[in-house]
Every structure is written in structure tokens, then in C-alpha cells.
Structure 1
Amino acid sequence: MFIHIDQQYDHVDFSNSDLCYGELRNCTFHECNFNGTALEEVLTTNCQFINCNFSNANLNASQHIGSAYTNCRFHGSNLFVSKFDNCKMVGSDFAEARMDGITILEGDWSYTNLRHVNFGKQDLRKIRFMEADLYQANLEKADLRDADLTRVQLSNARLQGSDLRGAILDGIDFKSLDIKGVRMDLIQASSFARSYGARID
């Protein structure tokens, strides 16, 4: 196990290395490469990762508290039962990442690529997903109360049994959604009806 505190790394190649069980506090990583890196059970606290590559990395059971991963690539990475607590993930790409059992506590996931992700039965309350791509995502029975879903791409997403009450749905294409079994508040239901030409008096 290792502990790194207040360190800065710029264009460092950590690919295929073993960084399991480590702890990172207040560290900054700029354009670093973690391709294929073993990061199981790593703990990051208030760290910044900017334009870093985590493709095919193993992050299962890792924990991240107040950290930022901006414009990072997680293509094919393993995030099984990982935890992100109030993290900033803006612009990151999770194409083909394994995210089953992930825990996300609030935070900003705007502009992320989350196509085909499995968020079934997940607690996603109060998360900011503004303009994220959730095309064909599994959101069945997910709790999305008070989430910001402004202009989110939800085409062909599975929403059956999800809870959208209090969520911001500005710019959502309701006609592309199957809302069978979805819980909505009155304002959302009115917006949905208007999208189909209903007049609400």
C-alpha cells in the first residue's frame, strides 16, 4: 500500500502498473496514462485528473471522494462496485466500461458518454447529468429524483419503474421515451402531455 499527498504528475505513463490498495490525497494528474493499470480498492480524496486515460484499467471497489475526472477516458475499464462521492466527471467517456454495482453520491456527470450503461436500480438522486449521453442506458427502477437531466440523450433508454420526480427535464425529447411505469410529478406529466399536443388548462 502507498500514500501520495499533494503530488503533481504531468504526462506520466502509469500504464499496466500495479497501484492497488493505494491512497491519493490532493494530487493532480494532467494527461497521464493509466491504460490497463491495476487500481483495485484505491482511494482518492480531492484529487484532480485532467485528460487522463483509464482505458482498460481495473478500478473495481475503488473509492473517490470529492475528486475530479475531467475529460478522462474510461473505455473498457472495470468500475464494478466502485464509489464516487461528490465527484466531478465532466466530459469523461465511459464507453464499454463495466459499471455494475457502482455507487454515485451526487456530483457532476455532465457531458459524459454513458451509452448502454447499466444503472438499473441505482440511487442517482441529485446528480447533474446535463447533456450526458445515456442512449440505450438501463435506468429501470433507478431513483433519479431531483437529478438534472437537462438535454440528456435518453433515446431508447429503459426507464420502466424509474422515479423522475423533481428531476429537471428541460430539453428532453419526450417522444423518444417509453414512460410506462415511470413516476413523475405533476409538472413533468403536464410537460409530457404538451409534447403530444395536449392543452393543459
Structure 2
Amino acid sequence: MYSYIEQQYTEVDFSHKDLRDGELRQCTFTRCRFRGAHLEEVWTVGCQFVECDFSGAQLNGSVHTGSAFTNCRFHGANLFVSKFEECKMVGSDFSEASLDGVTIEKGDWSYTSLRHANLSKQSMRGVRFVEADLYECNLEKCDLRDADFSRAQLSRVRLFGADLRGAVLDGVNFKSFDVKGARMDAGQAVAFLRSYGAKVE
């Protein structure tokens, strides 16, 4: 096991490196490449990853606490049972990434691309998904209370059994997804009805 503390790297290529079982604290990585790298069970605390490329990387079992991955690319990455606690993921792309069993505790996932992701049965209470692309995501049986989905792309999202009470749904297109089986509060129900032309008094 290795440990890096307060290190800074800019445009370094870590592609296909074996970096598993490591600990990264307060490190900064700017425009670095981790394509196909082995990062299984890596633990990051308070790290900054800016415009880094994790395409095809193995991040399964990794744990991230208070770290930021801004405008990063995770195309085809393996994030199976990884955990993100209070992380800032703004603008990152998770296209075709494996997110099965991932744990997301609070944090900011605004402007991320999570198209087709399977996030079912997760507790994502209070997470920010402002303007995130969640097209065809599986959010069945998720705890989404108090999450912020302002102007998010929710077309064809699966919400059966999900709890949306208290979630912010400003600017979403209610006609683009099915709320059957989802729990909603009164304010959301009114907004839903009005989107279909009902006059609620």
C-alpha cells in the first residue's frame, strides 16, 4: 500500500499503471490521464482531479471522501461498489461506465452525464443533480428526498418505488418520464398536474 499526501501533478500519464490499494490525501491532479489504470480500492480524501481522463479505468471498491472530480471523463470505467461521500463531480462524463452498487452520499453531481446508469436502490438524499443528464437512468426504489433535479434531463427515467418527497424538480419536463409508483409530495403533484394542463386550486 502506498500513500501520497499534498502532491501535485499536471498532465502526467498514469495510463495502465497499477495504482490499487493506495491512499491519496489533499493531492491535486490537473489534466492527468488514468486510462485503463488499476485503481481498485483506492482511497482519496480531499483530492482535486481537474479535467482528468479515467476512461476504462478500474475504480471498483474505491472510496472518495470530500474529493472533487470536475470535468473528468469516466467513459467505460468500472465503478462497481465504489463510494463517493460529499464529493464534487460537476461536469464529469460517466458514459457507459459501470455504476452498479455505487454509493453516493450527498455531494454535487450537477452537469454530469449519467445516461443509462443503473443507480437503483441507492440512497441519494440531498444530492445535487442540477442540469445533469439522467436519460434512461434506473432510479427505481431510490431515496431521492431533498435532492435537486433543477432543469435535469429526466427523459425515460425509471422511478418506480422511488421517494421524491422534498426534491426540487424546477424546470423538468414531467411529460418525458413516468412517475407511476413514485412517492411525491403535494407541491410536486400539483406541478405534475399543471404540466398536463390541469387547473389546481
TM-score range, shorter chain: over 0.9
Give the Cα separation in 1 of the matches to 2:156 and 2:198. 23
- Offset of residue 119 of structure 1: 0.7
Give the Cα separation in 2 of the matches to 1:53 and 1:121. 28
Give the Cα separation in 2 of the matches to 1:80 and 1:123. 16
Which position in structure 2 is the counterpart of 1:92?
92
1:21-78 Cα offsets, whole Å, 9 max, x none, are 0000000000000000000000000000000000000000000000000000000000
Give the Cα separation in 2 of the matches to 1:178 and 1:85. 29
Give the Cα separation in 2 of the matches to 1:95 and 1:175. 24
SS of corresponding position for 1:34: coil
1:145 equivalent to 2:145? Answer yes
Give the Cα separation in 1 of the matches to 2:133 and 2:43. 27
SS of corresponding position for 2:24: strand
Give the Cα separation in 2 of the matches to 1:20 and 1:148. 33
- Look up the equivalent residue of 2:19 and give its one-letter code: L
Give the Cα separation in 2 of the matches to 1:22 and 1:176. 43
Structure 1 residues without counterparts, runs of 5 or longer: none
The RMSD of aligned alpha carbons is 0.5
Give the Cα separation in 1 of the matches to 2:124 and 2:183. 14
1:90-125 Cα offsets, whole Å, 9 max, x none, are 000000000000001000000000000001111111
- Look up the equivalent residue of 1:143 and give its one-letter code: D
Which position in structure 2 is the counterpart of 1:190?
190
Give the Cα separation in 1 of the matches to 2:64 and 2:121. 21
Question: What is the TM-score when the length of structure 1 is the normalising length?
Answer: 0.99
Which position in structure 2 is the counterpart of 1:32?
32
- Look up the equivalent residue of 1:190 and give its one-letter code: V
Give the Cα separation in 2 of the matches to 1:57 and 1:92. 14
Which position in structure 2 is the counterpart of 1:41?
41
Which position in structure 2 is the counterpart of 1:118?
118
- Runs of 4+ aligned residues of structure 1 deviating over 6 Å after TM superposition are none
Give the Cα separation in 1 of the matches to 2:15 and 2:184. 45
Give the Cα separation in 2 of the matches to 1:58 and 1:177. 32
Give aligned-pair identity as a percent: 65
Matched residues, number:
201
- Offset of residue 200 of structure 1: 1.2
- Offset of residue 197 of structure 1: 1.0
Counterparts in 2 of 1:122-141, with a 5 A limit?
122-141=122-141
Give the Cα separation in 1 of the matches to 2:162 and 2:153. 16
Question: What is the TM-score when the length of structure 2 is the normalising length?
Answer: 0.99
Which position in structure 2 is the counterpart of 1:169?
169
Which position in structure 2 is the counterpart of 1:178?
178
- Offset of residue 161 of structure 1: 1.1
- Offset of residue 177 of structure 1: 1.5
1:144-190 Cα offsets, whole Å, 9 max, x none, are 00000001101011111111000000001001111111100000000
Give the Cα separation in 2 of the matches to 1:114 and 1:177. 16
SS of corresponding position for 2:191: helix
Which position in structure 2 is the counterpart of 1:71?
71
